Structure 1
Amino acid sequence: MSWLAIANCLLDKVQRFRIILMPKISVIVPCYFNEGNIPVTVPGLVANEANFPAGTEFEYVFVDDGSRDLTLQALLEARAQYPDRIKVIELVGNVGSYNAIVAGIAHATGDCMSVITADMQDPPELMVQMFDYWQQGFKLVIGNRQDREETGLAKIFAETFHWLMKHLALNNIPDGGFDFVFFDRQVADEVVKMHERNSNVFYLMVWLGYTYINIPYVRRKREIGKSRWTLQKKIKLFIDSLLSFSYFPIRAISVVGLLLGVVALVYGLYIIGLKVFDPHGPAGWTTLMVVVLFVSAFQMIALGVIGEYVWRGLDASRSRPLYVVKNKYGIGSENNKLY
């Protein structure tokens, strides 16, 4: 065995030994119009450190996703209070929470990481149990929503969305949906490396194929501020998630097209039969127009679905950055600003 191989082996053992004794946890928090949440969220996360084993190191990577309120100011005030723990990334514009999460992952330095929302709807104390599973060797731990304190259309939409995704795209995701995860550095590196566009970063983690364990919990009701998760963003997320992980829409078009072809053939034979046996029969204008309009509508829908796939391919081929970093606070300048 060469000296280089021996050195690499020793370095690997030292690294594993350091992780076992003094692991570093990076907590990534995407922020968008959260100026009222930050003064509550930061102390809550810091207080939660007491539940972890002694020697565990923490860093909190807050990503301001183009907020136009005082979120950045609140984050900088929190950083002034905890300069050794808090890092802040200010993005040039709003790129969506999932791209903001990728930005946080790319700048995090922990041995393991967690993603949690800034509104504290997900219980940070659950992170302790997630950390225990990570120490047991699980690369991915998911906190899935067994139920939620929210009511009305928001709850119905969320439950429908996750049910459809589970049955049409990824059948190995847990029930109830999730966006509270704890994962290994290896998973983080793979997610950043994929540079996936118009997708769902949490589903990507499951898609990678690592064995995961899920912990059910009840999601809390938002107490501070107003959610910016609009219906338009929800619909886009559903389309992005479905098209990223499923060929169902294309296959559905093929099946419906085949069925329409069979119906058209039968109807054509029927029309020919009428013409042969009853040349003076009704012209069938109404029936003809209904068929034409129905088939035309299906063709437009089919073109729209195909267009969604084509547009995503074009968007990926441009290789534009997922986000642009405007300023970084508490983070070295060795990271590029374009991703």
Structure 2
Amino acid sequence: MPKLSVVIPCYYNEDNIPVTVRELVANEVNFPPEVSFEYVFVNDGSGDDTLGALLRARDTYPDRVRVVDLAANVGSYNAIVAGMAHATGDCLSVITADMQDPPELMVQMYEYWKKGFKLVIGNRQDREEKGLSQVFAKTFHWLMKHLALKNIPDGGFDFVFFDRQVSDQVVGMQERNSNVFYLMVWLGFPYVNIPYVRRKREIGTSRWTLSKKIKLLIDSLLSFSYFPVRAISAVGLGLGLVALLYGLYIIGLRLVGPDEPQGWTTLMVVVLFVSAFQMVALGVIGEYVWRGLDAARQRPLYVVKNIHEPAAAVRAPHSS
């Protein structure tokens, strides 16, 4: 009898939790009767009453809700890894707590998993949200597809359904400053892509700030692409060629004419440009060095403060 574990990272989702739990449980009737369910909610250091809402959901559904309470906010991707590490299902799915992704799509994903696919991706063909968020999302995934992982679907994704084997591989990597969804694609398993339209958020305010989006872009590019380093090398070679040609030009003027060539302005522009490039190059290299240092420290991705198990999972005291 297959068991499906749904991992839901939560950060300031106090008002979303009752609706999210209700929709997830209501979606169970669409699955074959032999499927059992487990919902792993991960409280990612929320400052509101998200934990209280999760514990009330566990009291309502004591047989299937597990709450993993982290000691501090570690970011949604590390929270997802924490949820995967504590899930017990044969197959898993990751969905957001704001219900912008349709849970009914998991039924179709499950059917593909039954056919043998280790990874099923629900990718955003379009989204109801417009404005800068849409522009950033499209730019981010275009860059990732053309500079890093060419086999990811267009439009981006963070709604996935995958096998226990995929989960074990990703959890075992313990990769830092990365993108957990791209890691699943990077593993190389053939996947099925199901396009859908991402809903507009109806409850609460997104905590996905611009600074977090920029960090995600940097982390994802540096984790899956050597483009930044290769770009530095290419620009460095180009500047070297320009410097060589300019040096030959200055030598030629000196040999032909008796007067020193006038070039203070040009010289200062070249010096400032090269200096700026060197600082940028050091910054990019520093990002790689920092990630190497962060990995060498081997600090945990997350610290679990408490785990609130489903009632069915709580073991009876051992009797002697």
Shorter-chain TM-score range: over 0.9
| In structure 1, C-alpha distance between the alignment counterparts of 2:161 and 2:132, rounded to whole Å | 29
Any idea what SS the aligned residue of 1:33 has?
coil
- What is the match of residue 318 of structure 2? none
Any idea what SS the aligned residue of 1:179 has?
strand
The answer to whether structure 1 residue 134 and structure 2 residue 113 are counterparts is yes
Question: Would the aligned equivalents of 2:250 and 2:261 in 1 still touch at CA under 8 Å?
Answer: no
The 5-angstrom pairing of residues 147-186 of structure 1 reads 147-186=126-165
- What is the match of residue 228 of structure 1? 207
The answer to whether structure 1 residue 35 and structure 2 residue 29 are counterparts is no
| In structure 2, C-alpha distance between the alignment counterparts of 1:279 and 1:113, rounded to whole Å | 79
The 5-angstrom pairing of residues 264-275 of structure 1 reads 264-275=243-254
Any idea what SS the aligned residue of 2:157 has?
coil
| In structure 2, C-alpha distance between the alignment counterparts of 1:163 and 1:108, rounded to whole Å | 32
Residues 140-197 of structure 1 deviation map (CA, whole Å, 9 limit, x = unaligned): 0000000001111000000000000000000000000000000000000000111100
| In structure 1, C-alpha distance between the alignment counterparts of 2:262 and 2:34, rounded to whole Å | 86
Q: Which amino acid aligns with 1:155?
A: Q
The answer to whether structure 1 residue 289 and structure 2 residue 268 are counterparts is yes
Structure 1 residue 277 displacement after superposition: 1.4
Structure 1 residue 282 displacement after superposition: 4.1
Structure 1 stretches lacking a partner, 5+ long? 1-21, 335-339
Which among 102, 105, 123 is matched to residue 123 of structure 1? Answer: 102
The answer to whether structure 1 residue 196 and structure 2 residue 196 are counterparts is no
Q: Which amino acid aligns with 1:138?
A: F
Question: Would the aligned equivalents of 2:118 and 2:189 in 1 still touch at CA under 8 Å?
Answer: yes
| In structure 2, C-alpha distance between the alignment counterparts of 1:116 and 1:291, rounded to whole Å | 51
Output the aligned Cα RMSD.
Answer: 1.1
Q: Larger relative contact order (C-alpha < 8 A, sep ≥ 6)?
A: 2
Residues 48-80 of structure 1 deviation map (CA, whole Å, 9 limit, x = unaligned): 000000121000000000000010000000000
Any idea what SS the aligned residue of 1:146 has?
strand
- What is the match of residue 57 of structure 1? 36
The answer to whether structure 1 residue 25 and structure 2 residue 4 are counterparts is yes
Structure 1 residue 283 displacement after superposition: 2.6
- What is the match of residue 192 of structure 2? 213
Structure 1 residue 280 displacement after superposition: 1.7
- TM-score by length of structure 2 reads 0.96
Which among 292, 295, 312 is matched to residue 291 of structure 2? Answer: 312
Which among 214, 233, 245 is matched to residue 224 of structure 2? Answer: 245
Divergent runs of 4+, >3 A: 331-334
Which among 166, 177, 197 is matched to residue 187 of structure 1? Answer: 166
Structure 1 residue 245 displacement after superposition: 0.4
Structure 1 residues 307 and 333: CA distance shift in structure 2, 3 A: farther
- What is the match of residue 85 of structure 2? 106
Structure 2 stretches lacking a partner, 5+ long? 316-320
The answer to whether structure 1 residue 88 and structure 2 residue 88 are counterparts is no
Q: Aligned pair count? A: 313
Any idea what SS the aligned residue of 2:62 has?
coil
- What is the match of residue 10 of structure 1? none
Residues 287-329 of structure 1 deviation map (CA, whole Å, 9 limit, x = unaligned): 0000000000000000000000000000000000000000110
- TM-score by length of structure 1 reads 0.91
Residues 83-136 of structure 1 deviation map (CA, whole Å, 9 limit, x = unaligned): 001000100000000000000000000000000000000000000000000000
Any idea what SS the aligned residue of 1:117 has?
coil
Q: Which amino acid aligns with 2:70?
A: L
Q: Which amino acid aligns with 1:140?
A: L
Q: Which amino acid aligns with 1:172?
A: N
- What is the match of residue 5 of structure 1? none
Q: Which amino acid aligns with 1:100?
A: A
| In structure 2, C-alpha distance between the alignment counterparts of 1:125 and 1:183, rounded to whole Å | 16
Residues 253-284 of structure 1 deviation map (CA, whole Å, 9 limit, x = unaligned): 00110011000000000011111112324431
Identity of aligned residues (%): 78
Structure 1 residues 254 and 52: CA distance shift in structure 2, 3 A: same
Any idea what SS the aligned residue of 2:160 has?
strand
| In structure 1, C-alpha distance between the alignment counterparts of 2:91 and 2:238, rounded to whole Å | 51
